[in-house]
Amino acid sequence: MALSLTKKICDLLIKKKLVTEDDLNKAREISAEKGGHLSDILVEMNAVSRDDLLTTLSEGLGFPPIKLSHFRIDKDALKLIPKKISISYQILPVSRVGKQLTVAMVDPLNIFALDDLKTVTNMDISPVIAAEDDMKEAITKYYEKSAGEEISAIVDDIETAQMEMVTEKGEEISFGELLRITEEAPVVKLTNMILSRGVKERASDILIEPMEANSRVRYRIDGVLRECYDPPRKFHQALISRIKVMSDLDIAERRLPQDGRFKIKIEERTVDFRVSIIPSSFGEKAALRILDKEQAMIDLDRLGFMEHDKQMIRTASERPHGMILVCGPTGCGKTTTLYSILKHVDDPGKNLITVEDPVEYELKGINQVSINEEIGLTFAACLRSILRQDPDIIMVGEIRDFETLDVAIKSALTGHLVLSTLHTNTASGSIIRMINMGLEPFLITSAVELIAAQRLLRKLCLECRESYTPSKEVAEKYGLFDEKGKIPMIYKPRGCKRCMNSGYQGRVGIIECLKLTPEIKELLFKRAQASEIEKAATKAGMSSLRENGIKNVIEGITSLEDVLRTTVESRERE
C-alpha cells in the first residue's frame, strides 16, 4: 500500500477514534518486523473491523466503496485489463459505460496505476475503493479457473498427448518410462496446481490418496480435512512419482515408507513442503505438510493466548535455566509456540541452538540442527554434542524417549534453559508421562519451570458469523457469563464464499499453563494421579483449555461448538 494512503489511514482512524495510538504503534512494529500492510494488521489485531476501515477510507478520500463479493463484474470490462496488471496494482475492472471504465482499487491514490490503466485501456478511469482481501479473492475468482476446471483441462491435455500412466488394473510401468512421464508438462502442471491451490487456500497439509476407482486430494484447512477433487486413478502413480522426484526420493521403491522435503516458489514467495509417502492397499499415499513462513505467526502476541498465560510464558522463558515443556497432539502448534518463545528471548549476547526433526522454519541468528537417525545423529546424541558448544538456550524438537528426556533434564539443571515438546493431552498428564518414562520426581521438581498444553481453535469468519443468545441451561453448563454475570450474545458459523462455506477462517491458540507450586511438587513426590495434580493447579490459578476456549466464545472469536469439539472438561478426563 502506498505511503500516502498509509498515512491517510492513520490520520482518519485516529480522527474517528476507531483505533488508538498504541494500536497503531503496535501494528507498525509488527509490519516492520513481519511485513504486511498496516490495515491488514490492524484488522488481524481486532483493533478495527474491515467494514469500518473501508467506510472510513471512503469518507476521507472521497472515493465510493465497493464490496466486490456482492457485485457482479462485467466480463467485457475484464477483458480490457490483463491479469498481470490486475495483480500488480491490486485492481479490478468493474463496469464500462462508453469511454468510462470503473475500476476497483485497493489504493486509489496510486497515480502510476491510474496512468498505466489509462494508457492500456485508452479510456477514462473512474476509481472506487475496495478492501485488500476482497480484491485478492475477486482477482482469483474472475481471472483464474476453478480447481475442477483446471483439473479437467490438465486431464484433457494428458489424454490428448496419449500419455499412458498405468492401466486401469494398476499394472506397473517401467522405471525409465515412469521417470519420463514425471517430467512431462501435463503431470508437472497437475502437481503444481495441487500444491499452489493448497498454499492459496491456507492449507496446513495436503493428502494425495489412492482409492479403488480414483485418486483423492484433500486439504487440511483450519484443522479440518476437506475433499477438493479426485483425479482419475490412472494418473495417481505419475503424480506420486513427480512428488518423489521433487523430494529427491527413490521413485523405484514402492514397498517402503519414504520421507523428504522440497521448496517451490508460489506467488513470489518460497514455500517449504515436508513429504511423507507410505504404501497402502491401492498404491502409495502422500502426505505433504506445508511450511509457509508468511502464514506462520511466530510471535507470542499473535498466537491468541490470554494475557495471564502469555505473562507466565515470558516469565519462565526469561529465567537463566530450567525447562519449559509444551504439550498437545500433532498439529496443535507446539513448535510455533516454541519458536515464538525463542524469538522473545533471542539476543546477540546469547547462544541459541535447536535440535529438530526436521527443521521446520529457518530462524535468523539461531543455530538449527536437523537430526539424522540413519547415521546415529539422534536427539540424545545431538544434545550431548550441543552441550560442548556453550549454549545458553536449547530447543529440543520433541522428547520421544527416556534417553532424550534424561539429557534434557540434566541440561536444565546445569545452567541451560531448555525448551521442548511432549505428546500428551494435558499439562498435568505430561508429569505422569515423564514419571512413566522413568524420570524421578525430584528431577522434575528441580528442573521444570513451566508445562503448557495447547490447542488450536477455528476463528469464526467475520463476514458471515451469526449472533444469538444461548439458553440459560447452556450458559450455566458451560459458564457462558460475562464480567457482569449476564448471559452474553455469542456467535455461530454460517458460511459464505470468503470462508468456502465453512463458517471459519483462520485459527487461534488456547493454552493452559501449569506452574510447579510447592503443593504440586509435594503431590509429585507422592506420585499422585494427573487429576489430583490438575485440581491443585486449578486451585493455584491455572485456567484450563476449556475455560480459555469459553473466553474466546464470549469475545466472539470462535464458536461454542468448536470449543466443545477441541477440548474436554476436567471431570470428563477422569
Look at 132-146, 299-313, 417-431 and tell me which has the smallest mean pLDDT.
132-146
pLDDT of residue 165: 47
Better-scored residue on pLDDT, 535 or 176? 535
Residue 49, pLDDT above cutoff 80: no
**In this predicted model, which residue has the larger pLDDT, 512 or 187?**
512
Q: Read off the DSSP letter of residue 232.
A: B
How many other C-beta atoms can be found within 10 angstroms of the C-beta atom of residue 234?
A: 20
Neighbours of 79 (CB within 10 A): 10
Q: What gap in Å lies between CA 187 and CA 158, rounded to an integer?
A: 8
Using the CB atoms, write b or e for 95-134: b if 16+ within 10 Å.
bbeeeebbbbbbbbbbeebbebbeeebebebebbbbbbbb
Please check the confidence at residue 368 and state whether its pLDDT lies above 60. yes
Q: Are 80 and 121 in contact (CB under 8 A)?
A: yes
Please provide the distance, in angstroms rounded to a whole number, between the alpha carbons at the two ends of the chain. Answer: 53
- What lies within 8 Å, CB to CB, of 220 at 6+ separation is 203, 204, 205, 206, 207, 226, 331
The model's pLDDT over 302-311, given as tens digits with 9 standing for 90+, comes to: 888 888 999 9
Residue with the larger pLDDT of the pair 241 and 38: 241
- Choose between 363 and 413: higher pLDDT: 413
What pLDDT, on the 0 to 100 scale, is given for residue 185?
Answer: 66
Q: Please report the pLDDT score of residue 153 as a whole number.
A: 63
542 contact partners, CB below 8 Å, separation of at least 6: 427, 512, 513, 514, 515, 534
Q: How are beta strands 393-396 and 352-356 bridged, if at all?
A: parallel
Q: Is the pLDDT of residue 169 over 60?
A: no
In whole angstroms, what is the distance from residue 502 CA to residue 495 CA? 5
What is the pLDDT, as a whole number, of residue 554? Answer: 93
Q: How high is the pLDDT of residue 395?
A: 94
Distances (CA, A) of 275 to 226, 251, 289: 19, 14, 7
Closest CA to 249 of 229, 275, 273, 230: 275
Q: Which of 113-117, 252-256, 314-318 has the highest mean pLDDT?
A: 314-318
Alpha-carbon span 398 to 326, nearest angstrom: 10
Q: What mean pLDDT is predicted for residues 135-142?
A: 80
Please give the pLDDT value at position 147: 53
- The pLDDT tens digits of the residues spanning 431-449 come to 999 999 999 999 999 999 9
Neighbour tally for 341: CB within 10 Å = 23
Burial code of 407-424, b = ≥16 C-beta within 10 A, e = fewer? Answer: bbbebbeeebbbbbbbbb
Q: How far is CA 489 from CA 43, 468, 560, in A?
A: 21, 6, 12
Instruction: Give dist(CA 270, CA 474) in Å, integer.
Output: 46
105, 64 in Cβ contact below 8 A?
Answer: no
Local confidence band at 16 (pLDDT 50, 70, 90 cut-offs): confident
Task: Tell me the pairing of strands 352-356 and 417-422.
Answer: unpaired
Q: Decide if pLDDT at 452 tops 90.
A: yes
Summarize the confidence of residues 181-194 as an average pLDDT. 75
What does the alpha-carbon distance between residue 563 and residue 456 come to, in Å, rounded to a whole number? Answer: 9
Query: Does 485 score more than 80 pLDDT?
Result: yes
Asked whether residue 574 carries a pLDDT value surpassing 50, the answer given is no
Q: Is the pLDDT of residue 451 over 50?
A: yes
| 166: pLDDT strictly greater than 50 | no
- Per cent of the chain over pLDDT 70 is 88
Range name among 188-202, 325-339, 522-536 with the lowest pLDDT average: 188-202
- What pLDDT is stored for residue 181 in this prediction? 59
- At residue 1 the predicted structure's pLDDT band, cuts being 50, 70 and 90, is very low
State how far the alpha carbon of 535 is from the alpha carbons of 220, 351, 500, 520, in Å: 35, 38, 41, 10
Residue 420: is its pLDDT beyond 60?
A: yes
Q: Where are the beta strands (DSSP E) in 98-202?
A: 100-105, 124-129
CB contact at 8 A, 175 and 251: yes
Q: Quote the CA–CA distance of 35 and 64 in Å, as a whole number.
A: 28
Helix (H, G, I), strand (E, B) or coil at 341: helix
Of the pLDDT bands very low, low, confident and very high (cuts 50, 70, 90), residue 553 is very high
Mean pLDDT of the chain: 84
**Residue 22 binned pLDDT confidence (cut-offs 50, 70, 90):** confident
Instruction: Give the contacts of 204 (CB within 8 A, at least 6 positions apart).
Output: 220, 221, 223, 289, 290, 331
**Distance of alpha carbon 385 from alpha carbon 512, whole angstroms:** 33
User: How many CB atoms sit inside 10 A of residue 257's CB?
Assistant: 11
Question: What pLDDT sits at residue 236?
Answer: 87
Going by DSSP bridges, is the β-strand pair 352-356/100-105 parallel, antiparallel, or unpaired? Answer: unpaired
Return the minimum-mean-pLDDT range out of 15-19, 363-367, 525-529: 15-19
Per-residue pLDDT band at 51 (split at 50, 70, 90)? confident
Q: Give Cβ neighbours of residue 413 (< 8 Å, ≥ 6 apart).
A: 321, 443, 446, 447
- What would the mean pLDDT of 77-89 be, rounded to a whole number? 85
Instruction: Flag the least confident range among 61-75, 267-281, 456-470.
Output: 61-75
Backbone angles phi, psi at 94, to 5 degrees: -105, -50
166-180, 429-443, 479-493, range with the lowest pLDDT: 166-180
CB 421 within 8 A of CB 326: yes
